[in-house]
Chains A and B, each alone.
Chain A
Amino acid sequence: MELLFSLVTGVLSASGIYLLLRGRTFSIIVGLALLSYAVNLFLFSMGGLHTHAAAVIGESESPADPLPQALVLTAIVIGFAMTAFMVILAIRARAELGNDHVDGKQGEEGETR
Chain B
Amino acid sequence: MSLLLIPLLTLTGTAIPLLTSRFGRAYCTLSTLVLPVIALALLFSYVPALLNGETLHVAWSWIPQLGLDLAFRVDGLTFLFALLILGIGSLIIFYAGHYLSPTEKDGRFLSYMMLFMTAMLGIVMADNLLLLWLFWELTSVSSFLLIGFWGHRSDARRGARMALTVTGAGGLALLAGILLIGHVVGSFALQDVLAAGDQLRASSYYPVILALVLLGAFTKSAQFPFHFWLPHAMAAPTPVSAYLHSSTMVKAGIFLLARLHPALGDTTAWETSLTLVGLATLVYGAWFALLERDLKGILAFSTVSHLGLIVLLLGLGSPLAIVAALFHIFNHALFKATLFMSAGIIDHETGTRDIRRLGGLWSLMPITGTLTMLAGAAMAGFPPFNGFLSKEMLLTKAVATDHFGGLGIIIPILVLVGAILSVAYSIRLVANVFFLPRKVGEKTEEKAEEPVHAHDPPKGMYLPGMGLACLCLLVGLFPMTLAAPLINSASLAVQGVNSPVFHLALWHGLNVPLMMSAIAIGLGITLVWRHERLYSLAALLPTRDAKDIFEKTITRVIKAAVWLTLRLENGSLQRYQALLLMSALIMTALGLRQLDNLTGAAGLQPIDGLAMLGAGVMVFGAIGSAFAHRWRLVSLLMLSTVGLLVSLTFVRFSAPDLALTQLSVEVASMILMILALFFLPQRPPRWVSTRRIMRDLLLAASFGLVIAVLNYALLTRDTLSISEFFLSESVPGGGGTNVVNVILVDFRGFDTLGEITVLALAGLGTYKLLNRLRLFKPSGNLEGIRWSRQRYPLIFDVVAQIILPLALLVSVYIFLRGHNQPGGGFIAGLVTAVALLMQYMARGYEWTSNRLPISYPVVAALGLVIAVLTGLGSWLFGYPFLTSSFGYFDIPLIGKTELATALLFDIGVYLTVVGATLMILVNLGSVTTIHRPTLKSSLQSAPREGNK
Contacts and interface: CB of A to CB of B under 8 A. Distances in A.
B826 interface: yes
Contacts of A11: 618-619, 622-623, 704, 708
Contact of B626 (A1, A18, A65, A76): A18
A84 B699 CA distance: 27
Given A23-B685, A56-B737, A95-B776, 11 more contacts: A15-B704, A26-B676, A29-B676, A34-B622, A51-B653, A55-B655, A59-B737, A67-B723, A80-B917, A94-B680, A103-B572
Nearest to A50: B654
B598 to A, nearest CB: 10
A76 B629 CA distance: 23
Contacts of A5: 615, 711, 715
A33 to B, nearest CB: 6
B686 interface: yes
B626 A19 contact: yes
A8 B619 contact: yes
A110 B774 CA distance: 24
Interface stretch (B551-559, B765-773, B867-875): B765-773
B344 interface: no
B739 A108 contact: no
Interface residues of B, number: 115
A50 B715 CA distance: 11
A44 B650 contact: yes
Contacts of B578: 21
Interface of A: 1-27, 29-31, 33-34, 37-38, 40-42, 44-60, 63-67, 69-70, 72-74, 76-85, 87-92, 94-96, 98-100, 102-103, 108-113
B574 A91 contact: no
B626 A92 contact: no
Contacts of A46: 714, 719
Contacts of B607: 1, 3-4
A87 B744 contact: no
A47 B842 CA distance: 41
Nearest to A105: B572
A1 to B, nearest CB: 4
A4 B196 CA distance: 66
Nearest to B912: A77
Interface in B913-948: 913, 916-917, 920-921, 924
A100 B680 contact: yes
Contacts, number: 332
A76 to B, nearest CB: 5
A109 B832 CA distance: 43
Contacts of A57: 727, 730-731, 737-739
Contacts of A4: 607, 611-612, 615
B673 interface: yes
- Listed from nearest, the 5 A-B pairs whose CB atoms lie closest are A14-B704, A10-B708, A81-B762, A6-B712, A18-B700
Interface-centre pick from A42, A57, A80 (highest chain B CB count, 10 A): A80
A33 B665 contact: no
Given A10-B704, A21-B574, A90-B676, A44 B655 contact: yes
Nearest to A38: B707
Contact of A91 (B572, B676, B730, B765): B676
Contact of B688 (A64, A108, A111): A111
Contact of A2 (B715, B913, B920): B715
B769 A88 contact: yes
B618 A113 contact: no
Interface in B237-252: none
B716 to A, nearest CB: 6
B744 A74 contact: yes
B665 A76 contact: yes
24 contacts: A1-B604, A1-B608, A3-B604, A4-B612, A9-B707, A10-B708, A15-B623, A17-B700, A30-B673, A45-B711, A46-B714, A51-B652, A57-B731, A59-B737, A64-B653, A67-B722, A73-B657, A76-B662, A81-B759, A85-B766, A87-B672, A91-B769, A98-B776, A111-B685
